[in-house]
Amino acid sequence: MDPQEYEKFRRDVFAAIWRDLDPLEAEIEDNESMPMDRLMPMLRDMGALGLLVPARYGGSGLTIEQYLPIIAEFAKVQGGIRVLVHVHNSFAHALSEIGSPEQCAAILPGTVTGQTSVAFALTEPDHGTGADLGTTATRDGGVYVLAGKKWLITNSDIASHFIVFARTSPTEVSALVVERDRPGLSIEPLPETMGCKGGEHGVLTFDGVRVPAANLIGAEGEGQAHLERALEISRVFIAASSLGTAQRALDLSLEHARRRVTFGKPIAARQAVQRYLAEMATDVYALRHMLLDAARKWDAGQRIPLEASLVKLFGLEAVGRVTDRALLVHGGIGYTRRTPIERLYRDARLNWLEEGPPTIQYLVAARELVGGYEWADAFAGGRHG
Ligand SMILES: Cc1cc2nc3c(=O)[nH]c(=O)nc-3n(C[C@H](O)[C@H](O)[C@H](O)COP(=O)(O)OP(=O)(O)OC[C@H]3O[C@@H](n4cnc5c(N)ncnc54)[C@H](O)[C@@H]3O)c2cc1C
């Protein structure tokens, strides 16, 4: 989207987030479910469902740099809505990059209006992710037959299509598009989560699910490469979500510190509290600039496996520290329900797990570093600068 058009679009989306979605927060937190009949039309009307879908499929075709402030703004308002919007956009984007023109033409235009939605089905109850997967897809003539179980699959209530990772041979993982109405696929919800309330994260059981061979994404055995590409940029989206949560926690802490008077002075005048605020702002500022760097590199066509893992890692640690300090600045009242800090604190903890926990980020980052990663960055100096 051209910069002028984008500025207007971004302002309109921000206004709609606060006007339409903020009033839903208490209802979602209390009921631990989202009013989907009202929410989805709101998201569609504000243009939040096709943010990363290329314009040729009817979406807004935002760059990553344009998208990040928008997903961050959702995180400020209510974590469950942020997760829904994140998964819906992130995996439509992934399909636009790894899917065939036929798969994209069939699925992506519907994502813009909410008629279709793409979810990502990788995690399993009885196996580790990637090379350890237990779900199998066995070729039988013109179809693949899927058997196995996935869990924690976000948007399992609204997804029309799942990108499913399954083993097509003992050594190969492949990715397939599976429609939700395929016979043999059953979907059960998991219990409600600690934070990011209202989302549905289901258990998918594949019991001899037959899908046409045309549903394979790319070629057999390309699944590991597809999941690495999809998760690489999605980690940046999670870090932007961490930034939104952290920024809101900082803003609320500043307001509270100016307002709360003890021993005749606002607590904002106390050096101990000022230190918390300065440390929170340092994390927010650093995260913002790591995100911009990662986004600009991706938008310029570079792969960023190291930057993506580092920004995801820094983001989850930063939002952890910022929400810890925000609770301290708020004092006891911040620990009660109905204060936004209590919700932000819980929402932030999901960022630890999304698109891989810290150990996975350490593993990816160390693999890239030890392998002689080219930073493509003047600060790296010497032979790269
Ligand atoms: C609300 C929510 C939504 C989610 N949405 C999705 C989704 O839409 N799609 C999807 O596919 N997944 C989804 N997930 C799953 C999420 O990505 C995983 O929970 C996360 O990556 C951790 O994997 P796991 O749960 O299998 O934990 P485990 O792999 O069991 O890990 C448990 C602990 O052991 C450590 N560990 C595990 N293996 C190793 C190893 N080899 N070396 C070192 N340490 C290790 C981990 O770091 C962690 O600390 C979601 C999770 C949640 C909570």
Q: Are residues 9 and 102 in the same domain?
A: yes
Asked if residue 39 has its Cβ within 6 Å of ligand 1, the reply is no
Q: Are residues 143 and 233 in the same domain?
A: no
**The CATH number of the domain where 106 resides is what?**
1.10.540.10
How many A from CA of 243 to the centre of ligand 1? Answer: 21
What's the pLDDT at 378? 79
Q: Is residue 98 domain-resident? A: yes
What's the pLDDT at 385? 46
Q: Is residue 297 domain-resident? A: yes
Residue to mutate (ligand 1; options 123, 133, 237; most atoms within 8 A of CB): 123
Q: Is residue 340 domain-resident? A: yes
Total domains in the chain come to 3
Q: Is residue 106 domain-resident? A: yes
Q: Is residue 248 domain-resident? A: yes
Asked if residue 125 has its Cβ within 6 Å of ligand 1, the reply is no
Distances (CA, A) of 208 to 134, 139, 176, 197, 324: 14, 12, 14, 33, 47
Q: 93, 116, 139 — which closes off a domain?
A: 116
Task: Count Cβ atoms below 10 Å from residue 374 Cβ, excluding itself.
Answer: 12
Q: Which residues are catalytic?
A: 355
Q: Is residue 385 domain-resident? A: no
Q: Are residues 175 and 241 in the same domain?
A: no
In a structure prediction context, what are the per-residue pLDDT tens digits for the chain, which is 385 residues long?
A: 999 999 999 999 999 999 999 999 999 999 999 999 999 999 999 999 999 999 999 999 999 999 999 999 999 999 999 999 999 999 999 999 999 999 999 999 999 999 999 999 999 999 998 789 999 999 999 999 999 999 999 999 999 999 999 999 999 999 999 999 999 999 999 999 999 999 999 999 999 999 999 999 999 999 999 999 999 999 999 999 999 999 999 999 999 999 999 999 999 999 999 999 999 999 999 999 999 999 999 999 999 999 999 999 999 999 999 999 999 999 999 999 989 999 999 999 999 999 999 999 999 999 999 999 988 777 877 555 4
Domain span at residue 240?
224-371
What's the pLDDT at 9? 98
Q: Tokens standing for 305?
A: 């496996």
Q: Are residues 247 and 278 in the same domain?
A: yes
Q: Are residues 234 and 366 in the same domain?
A: yes
**Torsion on CA atoms 11, 15, 21, 23, rounded to nearest 10:** 160
Over the range 170-209, which residues count as b (16 or more CB within 10 Å of their CB) and which as e? Answer: eebbbbbbbbbeeeebebeeeeebebbbbbbbbbbbbeeb
Q: 77, 96, 116 — which closes off a domain?
A: 116
Q: Are residues 58 and 143 in the same domain?
A: no
Q: Is residue 64 domain-resident? A: yes
Can you spell out the DSSP letters for 1-18?
A: --HHHHHHHHHHHHHHII
Q: 84, 116, 148 — which closes off a domain?
A: 116
Asked if residue 143 has its Cβ within 6 Å of ligand 1, the reply is no
Q: Are residues 198 and 260 in the same domain?
A: no
Q: Are residues 214 and 246 in the same domain?
A: no
CA gap 280, 284 in Å, rounded = 6
**The CATH number of the domain where 251 resides is what?**
1.20.140.10
What's the pLDDT at 375? 82
What's the pLDDT at 380? 78
For atom 32 of ligand 1, which residue has the closest CA? Answer: 357
Size of the chain in residues: 385
Helix, strand counts (H, E) of the chain: 11, 9
What's the CA angle centered on 330, arms 24 and 354, to 5 degrees?
A: 55
Q: Is residue 197 domain-resident? A: yes
Q: Are residues 238 and 156 in the same domain?
A: no
SS3 content of the chain, % helix, strand, coil (to 5): 60, 15, 25
